[in-house]
Structures are given as structure tokens and as C-alpha cells.
Structure 1
Amino acid sequence: MSPIGDIDEGQARELAPVLKEYGTEVTTTLYREVKELRGDRRVTAADLSEARAVLSPLKHLARPDQVRDVLTVAAAEGRAPRLAPPAPEVPAQAADEHQADEDEGSVTRDQVDEGAEAIAILEAAVAQQRQIYDRVGGGTLAAALLYDPGRGDHLRRELRQYAQRTAYRARDTSGDQGDD
């Protein structure tokens, strides 16, 4: 486990099956991604166990960097709650909820919850977009058009349509359009 650094026995036990099934590169990537997702919090054997459980059903990864997408989506979907980012700091609530609503610039608990849910949805959407991008490449379209030209063309048009709709919903409406 030298590429990872110093790990304790419990962490090593959790990483051993990953090493056996996927190899050193995926194991190292898994540990580093869990560490990044945990942020300032210490990585525990339980964290690695949860990450390994999310990874196990895949059996095959096209690339080691897909580990991050798998873990991010699992955390966003609630399948890996230990890997979810820490809850955002919630501003102190006014004693009276009506007063909080009336104060200009105040943020309510509902707004914080709604924002956190929106971030989770966007993170999951980005992870799914990456997976779609990776899977549609290669000869996928050509093979589909060869197998069933009508259905393949219909699916291609539908894929483009939903990509355009997603881009439209994600547009910057603040008038401050950046390069992102």
C-alpha cells in the first residue's frame, strides 16, 4: 500500500479486496478519492468499507478515474452517506421564523436544505453526463446504426434533444455569463 502512505490495519483490511479485484491503481485512486470526499475529516475503515461496497457491484471499470464518479454519485444518492460532504454551516435562526423571513438577506433553513438538495442533484447529473459521454464514444453510435438504423437514428436525435434541453436549463440567467 506504499502509494497510499501510512494506513492502519483496519483500512488495509478494507482495501485488500479492492487491491485483489481491481489492482493497485484503482485501490490508490479509491483511497485518495475517499480522502478528498471526506475533506478535513479523518478517513476511517468504515469510510473505506462503504466506498468498497459502492464499488463492488461494478466489477469492471473502464478507467481508474471512474472511481470518483461512482463515489460522488453514490454519496449524492444517499447510498454512501459517510462520503457525503459535511453539512453546510447553517446561519443562526431568528427566534421567530416570521422575523427571519422579514430580515433582508436572511437565509432560512428551508433555503439551505433546498440549496443542498440542488447541489446533490447537479453533482449526480454531472456524474451521469460523464458516464453517458464515456459510454457513447467509441463505435457505439455506428454499431447501433448498423444494427437498427431507424432506432439508432431516433435515439441519437433524442440524446441530442435532451442534451440541448439540459444546456438550456443550465444556462446562466444572471447576465454574468462566464466560460464554464
Structure 2
Amino acid sequence: MSRIGKKAVPVPKGVTAEIAGQTVSVKGPKGTLTFNLNEYVTAEKAEDGSIQVTPRDESKLARSSWGMSRTQIANLVKGVTSGFEKKLEISGVGYKAAVQGKNLQLSLGYSHDITYPIPDGISIVTPKPTEISISGIDAQRVGQVAAEIRDFRGPEPYKGKGVKYAGEFIVRKEGKKK
């Protein structure tokens, strides 16, 4: 039995959730999101307005999809109410970031600047030249954009230079001995 899957997803005031077959759509103040459930689980609306996810049978696939499906629906509700945010930190001499129109300009020690086009539905803000804040209503897209920006120059283990998530711990290596 899934401990997470057993819990109902509460739907707050100002948010409407609709279930049509295997499609769950949630509409809130920040926008609308949909999620297609796989064939191993079902979702029903309870009388108190919450959403309950149940497996169709006791197969291993149904039980393993149960908790994940419930979490995906909970992320839809959280996304349309408060949204998601990831913060990145840039460390290194001369490394910086700036938003110019619909592009993110990155100077990361290469011979050229990197221009990253900001996708629709995602907002990127640079409060300082060494900080990047990525926000949006879809948790997967926010995480994907943050991962793509981090991949331009990931943190290296000797000096710790590069782009890292805020709060990420970089395991440092000892340099060469003479």
C-alpha cells in the first residue's frame, strides 16, 4: 500500500479541478494545467472537493504508479496556486548572468557569451549578476530549464566554479601535491 497514494489531494478555494476519463485538469489563479493518468490508476472527486487516486488492481505496475500519480496531481494544484521556483548561483571570476528581453545572457568563462532563449510559461529574473531565479507553474519545466542552464558550466570539484543550485553542496577535491 502506498502511504502517499492513500492521501487525498486537497483542492483549495479558488481552484477548480475536473476529471474527464484519465485526464485531470486543474484551473487556478496562475493558469491551467492538465495531467493524463496511465491505465493502472483512476482518480475520483470526493464529496469534500478533494481528489482521491486509487489503483485499478493489486498488480505491481498499478501500485508503483499510484503514489507518483497522486504526487503529479498535487503538483498541478500547487503550481496553479503558488507556482514553483528554482534558484541558481554562479561562482567564478567574471562569471555573470543578465536577462535581455526574451533571452538569458550568460558569461561563463568561454570565448563567447551563451544566449539561452527563455521558454514560454517560464520567467527568469537575475536579482544579482551571480543569481538566477527561475519560476513557473509547471514543476517539470522549471526543473528542466534550471538543469539546462546548470549544464552550460556545472560546478567543478577543485575550485567550485560554475553554476549550481542554491543550497547545493559541492564536494571539493584536494589539488595536486608538490
For the criterion TM > 0.5, the same-fold answer is no
TM-score range, shorter chain: under 0.3
Greater relative CO, 1 or 2 (CA 8 Å, sep 6+) = 2
Q: Which protein is richer in strand relative to its size?
A: 2
